[in-house]
Structure 1
Amino acid sequence: MTRPRRVVGVSTKMYFSAARTHDYVRDLIRELLGSGDILSGVDIFIMPDFITLTSVVVQVAGTRIMCGAQDTWHEDFGAFTGEVSPAVLAEVGCRMVEVGHAERRRIFGETDEITARKAAAVVRNGMIPLVCIGERTRGDVRIAVDECQVQVEAVMAAVPADAEVMLAYEPVWAIGAAQPADPKHVVNVVGQIRGLDCVRNRAGTLRILYGGSAGPGLFENLKHAVDGLFLGRFGHDPAQMHRTIEEVASA
């Protein structure tokens, strides 16, 4: 069975100023220019804040980098003060949208139902949903899979079976930690997620990334289970991001 293309992405969350976002994208593009054909089989994405998103779309035009958004609302238009329309994100050149991050769930009370509706809105507007899943507390593989299964099934029931979807497995307890989750734990959890009926029976491309303190040196131990990495703070240095991309490309 042919595995899908590998992928590496980074979210800047709310760490960057507008000037730093511009400099980061510029410096990353410069780093990648020297990598040659090694990156031809890897998809790369950056998810900046909403204010700088359109400028990043312009910066990455003509490169192999996709620009994504960190969130969206689940309706295209209407009286939703302060929210961001998925239709407008697509209109300005956004290619993918992150939904269901643990911080959105914890701080803003977003549920599996809201996450599923957002994922459906992303697909409806021709973009790729990057759906964050993960267990809240450290435990064994069965506990992790049981919690992730509920999250995955909600999303898969809401989006067409032929839609492209990415899942970011991010154990909540590993987000912001000094070290990522143990590779054996990740491999076992992701393997069982792939075996779920709602995943295994899909016609559309589905890729699973690992996030949660992901960074350089990790992918070699995960390459047989995941399709890539989703970075946070460890990807905020262009050189480290570049190094991680090359590791994923060559593993």
Structure 2
Amino acid sequence: MYFSFARTTAYISTLLKLLSEQSPETLASLQDIDVFVLPDHISLVSVISQLRHHDNPSPVPILVGAQDAFYEDAGAFTGEVSPAMLAEVGCRILELGHAERRRLFGETDDIAANKAAAAARNGISPLVCVGERTRPPIIDTTGSEGGILDTKTALSEISAQVETVLNALPHSANVILAYEPVWAIGAAAPASAPYVVAVVRAIRELECVCRRPMGSTRILYGGSAGPGLFSKLKDSVDGLFLGRFAHDPEQFVKTILEIAAA
């Protein structure tokens, strides 16, 4: 709820302009990554239309997703948004389980799982936010960047979130896990790279992840993510999930180009 409708429209226009200014070689490299934006529900259909405009379409594929939806496709659920309708208008990704949804609206792992299942049955990829709420204790003060944090403490909380959602999905469903340590969201700096790498590798080793088909589960890092970060994490994460750093389209494009180059 940071952007107005007018600002969202202007943002997409600027994004398209910045991408169109890239060299053919750069644009070719962007075909190998997935770029997505998640506008508010009111702006979503307009954004899809902007990106598909026949006179000035996006020079690279950009997926459009929603920030939330209900877990039923239709019925007497006043005020909710149907995942079936989102799929009908071209929504490709559904964000769910964000820390704000959990904190402000009491959403649980079970609710996130129901929403993920609703997305999957409508052909939408669920993007599930997972992460520990409290900064873990330091277990080794000799490490760099303020010491080494205890990844086992974090994983005990994260594993329940991941398992509940994946157990609700068919094995064939593609799912995106957005690892966001809640204590790092909005912070001046992200969690340290060694810590993120260790946590993400531990998530990949969870039994519920290992038994799914190769490539069906991708893991992004969020939590004060921005330009200059992906190169430090590329050996463990599949991409970044940007928040406020992406409010500037130039920074967003810079990050996209960094990921493509890496």
What TM-score results when the alignment is normalised by the length of structure 2?
0.89
Q: Which residue of 1 aligns with 2:247?
A: 236
Q: Which residue of 2 aligns with 1:18?
A: 5
Structure 1 residues 155-189: Cα deviation after superposition (integer angstroms, max 9, x where no partner): 01100011100000000001111111111110000
- Among 191, 194, 206, the alignment partner of 2:201 is 191
Q: Which residue of 1 aligns with 2:258?
A: 247
Q: CA deviation at 1:201?
A: 1.0
Q: CA deviation at 1:38?
A: 2.3
Q: Which whole-Å CA distance do the structure 2 matches of 1:31 and 1:65 have between them?
A: 13
Structure 1 residues 207-239: Cα deviation after superposition (integer angstroms, max 9, x where no partner): 100000100000010000000000000011110
Question: Could you say what secondary structure the match of 2:241 adopts?
Answer: strand
Q: Which whole-Å CA distance do the structure 2 matches of 1:160 and 1:36 have between them?
A: 34
Q: Which residue of 1 aligns with 2:39?
A: 48
Q: Which residue of 1 aligns with 2:182?
A: 172
Q: How does 1:118-197 map to 2 (within 5 A)?
A: 118-139=115-136, 140-197=150-207
Question: Could you say what secondary structure the match of 1:231 adopts?
Answer: coil
1:98 counterpart = 2:95: yes
Paired positions, count: 238
Identity across matched positions, percent:
61
Contact map agreement 1:60 1:66 (CA 8 A) in 2? no
RMSD: 0.8
- Among 214, 227, 239, the alignment partner of 2:238 is 227
What TM-score results when the alignment is normalised by the length of structure 1?
0.93
- List structure 1 segments (4+ residues) > 6 angstroms apart after TM superposition: none
Q: CA deviation at 1:246?
A: 0.5
Q: CA deviation at 1:36?
A: 2.1
Q: How does 1:211-226 map to 2 (within 5 A)?
A: 211-226=222-237
Q: 5+ unaligned residues in a row in structure 2: which ranges?
A: 137-149
Greater Cα shift, 38-47 or 197-206: 197-206
Q: Which whole-Å CA distance do the structure 2 matches of 1:24 and 1:245 have between them?
A: 15
**Bigger relative CO (Cα 8 Å, ≥ 6 apart):** 1
Question: Could you say what secondary structure the match of 2:135 adopts?
Answer: coil
**Amino acid aligned to 1:217:** G
Q: 5+ unaligned residues in a row in structure 1: which ranges?
A: 1-13
Question: Could you say what secondary structure the match of 1:97 adopts?
Answer: strand
Q: Which has the larger radius of gyration?
A: 2
Q: CA deviation at 1:146?
A: 1.0
